[in-house]
Structure 1
């Protein structure tokens, strides 16, 4: 009876839309680079939408001129690279995601303030914040979002990237990296500041 149930379970999983996820996979360098840019862009879209709702206007969020927030891309790539051994334990993984993302956000906040004398975010008015640099609500959002990223989004994106030739992915990585470095240099000389960006 147990063998029969196991066989039926495997048949259901085989036709499930999640059958090809294989979230335990290792990601190639090109996949990680392209996911960095994709999630940097997604983070930018997320924050722009928040300000459209809150302020009724489009605000180019972040230090950089381009439509990317590298803190999101960095967090996503670090989650995939550093937390692989805990992927079979979602609750532990969520806690580690919160710790990792909180650390990245805290260090980034200190670094930006040190170099530019400005804060690009301040959670001082939110419950359970630490020095206004990180807050529990944000960490919970990162934790839940990180789980979706590990178990669903990243495997689906990687499956899609595997249908693209390695040569095309390399060219795309080089082009995006070049644009990013140019934007980074320009933004260190003249950072994006002002209403809705810095406080």
Structure 2
């Protein structure tokens, strides 16, 4: 299987290591966005996300969903925006709905947040999906080319090591948080 990302053909193995970096960069990007947004909206800093590190898992998953959904249309900026808008909006709604109705967890609630026009049951709003559309644009025209440039300038084994190290730290952070959160219920 070959995937063309920004004029570079990647076999499955190379794509996997690039995807790990997309997961990490998207998670960090979501953390930065939410930190800035809530500082502007509420006037003070709030540690966003459920992990200890500077990343938010749903943004990492969203970055991967965007990549897998868009790569065939990456040369069409409008398609990149619209697919990101819809794919991540649907992801946010499904995850929010499942967490609330399946696990009785509410990680976000647009009913109580500023600038929530187009709010659907607190799970998704127009602001969030517009941001996801912009993130898709940034991902395909900024982040992925930067990741590919790093990949091409580093020895293959070093790029793979860095990809695994960063993704492992992110995933371990998620698992540790889930274990500790689970212990707090007893």
Provide TM-score, normalisation by structure 1: 0.74
Q: Which residue of 2 aligns with 1:151?
A: 141
1:32 aligns with 2:19: yes
**Would you say the 8 A contact 2:21–2:147 is kept in 1?**
no
From the superposition, tell whether residues 188 and 113 of structure 1 become closer, same or farther in structure 2 (CA, over 3 Å).
farther
RMSD: 2.4
Q: Which runs of 4+ in 1 moved over 4 A?
A: none
Structure 1 residues without counterparts, runs of 5 or longer: 1-21, 192-199
Q: How far does residue 139 in structure 1 lie from its aligned partner after superposition? A: 0.9
**Would you say the 8 A contact 2:17–2:164 is kept in 1?**
no
1:22-69 deviation digits (Å, cap 9, x = unpaired): 724445221111121122112112212223333444322112222111
Which of 110, 113, 117 does residue 127 from structure 1 map onto?
Answer: 117
SS in 2 for 1:159: helix
**Would you say the 8 A contact 1:24–1:84 is kept in 2?**
no
**Would you say the 8 A contact 1:128–1:136 is kept in 2?**
yes
Which of 26, 36, 46 does residue 59 from structure 1 map onto?
Answer: 46
Max Rg structure: 1
Q: Which residue of 1 aligns with 2:30?
A: 43
Provide TM-score, normalisation by structure 2: 0.78
